[in-house]
Amino acid sequence: MDMESLFNLFSQRFQRIVIILSALLAAAFFLIVDIFLVQAIYREITFFKAESPSLGIPVWIYYAGVIACSPALFIGLYRGALQRNGANNKSIQETLSPDNNR
In a domain, 101, yes or no: no
Count of structural domains within the chain? 1
Find the domain containing 52 and state its range: 3-96
Tens of pLDDT, residues 6-15: 888 888 889 8
Nearest C-alpha neighbor of 15 from the set 4, 7, 24, 23: 7
pLDDT at position 99: 66
In a domain, 81, yes or no: yes
Global pTM value: 0.76
pLDDT at position 43: 96
pLDDT at position 6: 87
In a domain, 16, yes or no: yes
In a domain, 102, yes or no: no
User: For residues 97 and 89, is the Cβ–Cβ distance under 8 A?
Assistant: no
In a domain, 72, yes or no: yes
